[in-house]
Amino acid sequence: MTRVPLGRTGLQISPLVYGTLPLGPLQARLSAAEGGKLIRYALEQGVNLLDTAELYGTYEHIRHGIAGFSGEVLIASKTHAADATTARAHVERALREMGRERLDIVHLHGARLQQPFVERSEVFAELLKMRDEGKIAQLGLSTHYVCAVYQAAEQPDVEVIHPLINRQGMGIIDGSADEMATAIAAASQAGKGIYAMKALAGGNLIDKAREHIRYVAGLPGVDALALGMTGTAEIDANLALLTASGEDEEAWHKLEQRRRKLVIMEQFCKGCGACVPACTNDALQLVEGKAKVDEENCILCGYCGAACPEFMIRVV
């Protein structure tokens, strides 16, 4: 299986990173056993980095997937904590629930933070402590901001960046795709390992998936791509594309026809509005006491689902 260096971390990773968000309760709601089977399949095909987060609810899926697997497994998680105590609790939970002694990468889950190292300085300091204690190997930043990629590039303790990039620039909060690509190249030049997210904008760009995946994979400085996958056909197709072992035209044709969408279960929506500020893309508003989505702006990131106390928002 092809391996690529992740910046200067010393890690050698597969060009395809398993994005586990869609397996869990925010999206497809697969059981831990079902999700675990897919993860295991991907590991057996050569994927060696699994991307998760406290918010994703997929630690159990990963635990199932890696149980008894003898090959290499690297795990990246993220904490959205706003204080040190919660950050420590998030890391401890990840270690406990996935049965690990050390996490390979922990990101500040900074999607919507314009100045993550200022706004989360206490959390970052706690993560540094946990790195010194041996509970974390590498620190990173996941972000939807161009400016935050530059800030991470200047942080000597940040080794990995997980930025949002797709050809349309969907979901980038403060700039275009070109501007994000320039920031990524600069961060890579500064020695940071980069694995990109949302190359398909959460499914919105699925109809030309190959083109969009190739675009991100070909950007200078992008070491690998995290893609969410809910079937073995997707895993096979993505691996073939990213490892240049050849494309299966029929499989890709089927995948590119598949569309996902955001569903708000209106009859149960209480109209509390908690989902509206959770959306960085201005895709939600309250209309006559119910949340409504503007599908043009929605990148199917699932953050609104996490913010809904009624758990009434799904990507299907």
Min separation Cβ 286 and ligand SF4, Å: 6
Min separation Cβ 240 and ligand SF4, Å: 29
Spatial CB neighbours of 38, under 8 Å, sequence gap ≥ 6: 23, 30, 65, 229, 230, 231, 232, 235
Q: Which is nearer to ligand SF4, 103 or 300 (CB)?
A: 300
Q: Which is nearer to ligand SF4, 71 or 271 (CB)?
A: 271
Q: Which is nearer to ligand SF4, 158 or 170 (CB)?
A: 170
Min separation Cβ 109 and ligand SF4, Å: 14
Min separation Cβ 271 and ligand SF4, Å: 5
Min separation Cβ 131 and ligand SF4, Å: 31
DSSP string, 263-281: EE-GGG-----THHHH-TT
Collapsing DSSP states into helix, strand and coil, what is residue 89?
helix
Binding site for ligand SF4 (CB under 6 A): 262, 264, 269-275, 278-279, 281, 283-284, 291, 293, 298-304, 307-308, 310, 312-313
DSSP alpha helices (H): ranges in the chain? Answer: 32-45, 59-66, 84-98, 116-119, 121-132, 146-153, 177-189, 209-217, 232-242, 249-257, 275-278, 303-307
Pick from 122, 185, 173: nearest CA to 148: 173
Neighbours of 95 (CB within 10 A): 19
Q: Which is nearer to ligand SF4, 157 or 282 (CB)?
A: 282
Q: Which is nearer to ligand SF4, 254 or 270 (CB)?
A: 270
